[in-house]
Amino acid sequence: MSGTPLIFICTCYETLSRTIPRGVLRTGIVARRPNAHIEFVPSLCRREDIDLIAGLIKERKHASVLLAACSPFARGNVVLDGLARRNPAMQASLVDVREGCAWVHGGNPDAAAAKAVDLVCMGLAGLRCREHSSEFHFQPVRRVLVVGAGPAGLAAAGTLARLGIEVSLAERMSRPGGLLNQIGRLFPYNMPGREFLATFLSEASHPCVDLLPKTSVTRIEGDPGRFEAHLSLEGRDMTVTAGAVILACGAMPVLPQNRFHSGELSGVISQLELETRLNKLEREESAPAGIAGAVFIQCVDAREDARPYCSTICCPTALKNALRLKNLNRDISVTVLHRGIMTPGRDLEELYRQTMASGVRFVAFSPASPPEVHGDGFVSSVSLTDALSARRLEIAADLVVLSTPLKPRPETASLAGDLGLRLDEIGFACGTEPMQPLVAPTPGVYLCGAVRWPVSAQEAVDQGRAAAIKAAGFLAQGALDLNRLFLPGSRRGPASIRTEACSRCGRCVSGCPYGACRREKNGPVTVCGIRCRGCGLCVAVCPSGAVRIPEQDSASVRAMLREIAPRPTALREVHR
């Protein structure tokens, strides 16, 4: 087995040689590495090429190989992956001499050649100190804990069950469905909420799904693949072991408190209250009695300083309920006071059009001069300044409906803390935006539905299914090389800590973005391999140099820096 690496330089069908001639490159490398084994190849990235070089490496018994080729994003990673598949034990490294050198320094061939030589020598230096992370055997428990049995949680549980994965579905209330239980009709298709819910209830009533009503999750411990969730079932404690967790605990409606005389004047109600009344009327097939004019006020307690966000579902909900009122009695005059109606997408646009066609009036108001509700015991009228015409309007009303937003549930924060999730400034949970919004930074943790942001029932279901598929994919992984477990292309294993050098200061423990570095009581600091994603923060903060990432540790970076340094040749000799 030869200790020196075999160097393959891809000339990319001689396009590289136009800027950096082969001879110059070879001479440059040999001047600094007299024993270098250099092979020029016209291409590296076709399957035949990879087969060929893999064969060559085997035949000449080289332990490591350096590829000087294009950037990893062009074809470099393909070649590395191909080599790793053919010979997993081999150390392979890639330096980018095409995009990163020949192509950006085309105007200065001499400098480009010098840089290419530097890059190859840097690659060699890095290879010398490079180590493989050990194989990582990961055996997750084939059970998923789904927190919350609203539309998102039910859809997730149903999807997982169909894939044959055991599910513990913890629901705070006595029956599943969440907020959907209070909704009579769903926008945009006006589908009965009960029917919609029934579909997902039947999907989730599967032998694989263990529905736990009246259960709250008190604490979640453990590591991905084996989470220990402590549940409280009507005061009785129990533990569930699950490989993955799907957080679907939803959001809760804000109730209008003392806004627009709600609670003082009868006839001023919340959108949720209207929903309940409409459900009853529709069930009884009777018309609303004693209502001649209804006024909806949008963005109550939302999009203002105290609660600056748009809850996204209140506009469609108001439109839907305005239509329902109109359908019960055409003669009721319905006015929606708004600060801009938010109905994105094909279906919601259609709903908006239908609502306008049915005779519902829309009046915009400015947040600086909000509408005023008048009445004495009973609500009688609403006055406001139309933001578009600047005219004062007085609208007779005996029903005022306040559209309020959804807000995060209180348990979101504690569960997020246990699971290493970040909350936004409002308190909704964040995934790894922008790339994987349903995936938490901690492996094996997923989130869906209104726990992330207010969503419609349909969207919640879509997200639930998506999160379920992600969780199933996570559990399907068995004994795998950790390099490829979470971040394809990172080619880095987890950090490792040399216990004898560790001073136990705990900086890595507090700094780790994934909670992977941890310290037992007075014991040494260890790295949880399944949580670590190789970012290297622990390496940077360690004052004793005890932490390292085997694939690219500081010794190899130091050696690489030495190759760049503008030193006289004599001194370089010493350093080699």
31 binds another protein (CB under 8 A): no
Instruction: Write out the two tokens for 321.
Output: 């309920």
Q: How far apart are CA 93 and CA 70, in angstroms?
A: 12
Compute the least distance from the CB of residue 267 to another protein, in Å. Answer: 45
Q: Taking phi first (over 0 means left), then psi (-120 to 50 degrees means alpha), and beta for anything else, what does residue 312 get?
A: left
Select 353 or 567, whichever has its Cβ closest to another protein. Answer: 567
Side-chain-side CA neighbours of 228 within 13 Å: the count stands at 5
Q: Taking phi first (over 0 means left), then psi (-120 to 50 degrees means alpha), and beta for anything else, what does residue 360 get?
A: beta
Residue 518: alpha-carbon gap to chain centroid? 24
Bridge pairing between strands 226-233 and 236-242:
antiparallel
Select 106 or 340, whichever has its Cβ closest to another protein. Answer: 106
Compute the least distance from the CB of residue 516 to another protein, in Å. Answer: 11
Compute the least distance from the CB of residue 490 to another protein, in Å. Answer: 6
Residue 376: alpha-carbon gap to chain centroid? 51
Q: Around Cβ 214, how many Cβ atoms within 10 Å? A: 15
73 binds another protein (CB under 8 A): yes
24 binds another protein (CB under 8 A): no
Q: Taking phi first (over 0 means left), then psi (-120 to 50 degrees means alpha), and beta for anything else, what does residue 301 get?
A: left
Q: In what order do the strands lie in the sheet containing 64-69?
A: 37-41, 6-10, 64-69, 91-96
Q: Taking phi first (over 0 means left), then psi (-120 to 50 degrees means alpha), and beta for anything else, what does residue 281 get?
A: alpha
Size of the site for another protein (CB under 8 A): 58
354 binds another protein (CB under 8 A): no
Identify the residue whose tokens are 């009868």.
266
Identify the residue whose tokens are 């004898």.
500
Select 187 or 446, whichever has its Cβ closest to another protein. Answer: 446
Select 101 or 144, whichever has its Cβ closest to another protein. Answer: 101
Compute the least distance from the CB of residue 71 to another protein, in Å. Answer: 4
Q: How far apart are CA 194 and CA 184, in angstroms?
A: 7
34 binds another protein (CB under 8 A): no
- Lay out the site mask for another protein across 87-126 (x = CB under 8 A, - = otherwise): ---------x-xxxx-xxxxxx-xxx-xx--xx--x----
Select 235 or 434, whichever has its Cβ closest to another protein. Answer: 434
Rule CB under 8 A: choose which of 218, 490, 526, 544 binds another protein. 490
Identify the residue whose tokens are 């085309």.
106
Select 365 or 428, whichever has its Cβ closest to another protein. Answer: 428
Q: What type of residue sits at position 381? A: S
Select 51 or 424, whichever has its Cβ closest to another protein. Answer: 424
Compute the least distance from the CB of residue 535 to another protein, in Å. Answer: 4
Name the segment binding another protein (CB under 8 A); options: 71-79, 162-170, 219-227, 451-459.
Answer: 71-79
Compute the least distance from the CB of residue 80 to another protein, in Å. Answer: 12
Select 449 or 493, whichever has its Cβ closest to another protein. Answer: 493
Rule CB under 8 A: choose which of 31, 287, 413, 565 binds another protein. 565
Q: How far apart are CA 232 and CA 507, in angstroms?
A: 35
Compute the least distance from the CB of residue 483 to another protein, in Å. Answer: 11
Name the segment binding another protein (CB under 8 A); options: 52-60, 70-78, 139-147, 286-294.
Answer: 70-78
Is the Cβ–Cβ distance between 47 and 59 less than 8 Å? Answer: no
Compute the least distance from the CB of residue 573 to another protein, in Å. Answer: 14
Q: What type of residue sits at position 343? A: T
Select 238 or 571, whichever has its Cβ closest to another protein. Answer: 571
Rule CB under 8 A: choose which of 11, 456, 496, 552 binds another protein. 552
Residue among 70, 64, 73 at smallest CA distance from 92: 64
Q: Around Cβ 567, how many Cβ atoms within 10 Å? A: 13
Q: Which residues pair with 376 in a beta bridge?
A: 378
Rule CB under 8 A: choose which of 75, 185, 407, 492 binds another protein. 492
Q: Which residues pair with 439 in a beta bridge?
A: 446
**Sign of the CA dihedral running 263, 265, 270, 273:** positive
Bridge pairing between strands 378-385 and 372-376:
antiparallel
Rule CB under 8 A: choose which of 55, 540, 573, 576 binds another protein. 540
Q: Is 555 helix (H, G, I), strand (E, B) or coil?
A: helix
Q: Taking phi first (over 0 means left), then psi (-120 to 50 degrees means alpha), and beta for anything else, what does residue 210 get?
A: beta
DSSP letter (8 states) at residue 135: P
Rule CB under 8 A: choose which of 24, 38, 74, 191 binds another protein. 74
Compute the least distance from the CB of residue 21 to another protein, in Å. Answer: 16
Select 52 or 535, whichever has its Cβ closest to another protein. Answer: 535
Q: 377 — phi, psi (to 5°)?
A: 80, -55
Instruction: Write out the two tokens for 352.
Output: 């908006």
- Lay out the site mask for another protein across 417-456 (x = CB under 8 A, - = otherwise): ---x-x---------x-xx-----x---------------
Name the segment binding another protein (CB under 8 A); options: 82-90, 139-147, 244-252, 551-559.
Answer: 551-559
Q: How far apart are CA 472 and CA 557, in angstroms?
A: 38
Rule CB under 8 A: choose which of 38, 40, 535, 572 binds another protein. 535
Instruction: Write out the two tokens for 158.
Output: 């149903």
Compute the least distance from the CB of residue 117 to another protein, in Å. Answer: 11
Select 506 or 523, whichever has its Cβ closest to another protein. Answer: 506
Select 99 or 411, whichever has its Cβ closest to another protein. Answer: 99
Rule CB under 8 A: choose which of 71, 190, 199, 358 binds another protein. 71
Contacts with another protein by CB under 8 A lie at 71-74, 96, 98-101, 103-108, 110-112, 114-115, 118-119, 122, 420, 422, 432, 434-435, 441, 489-490, 492, 511, 513-514, 533-537, 539-541, 545, 549, 552, 554, 557-558, 560-562, 564-568, 571
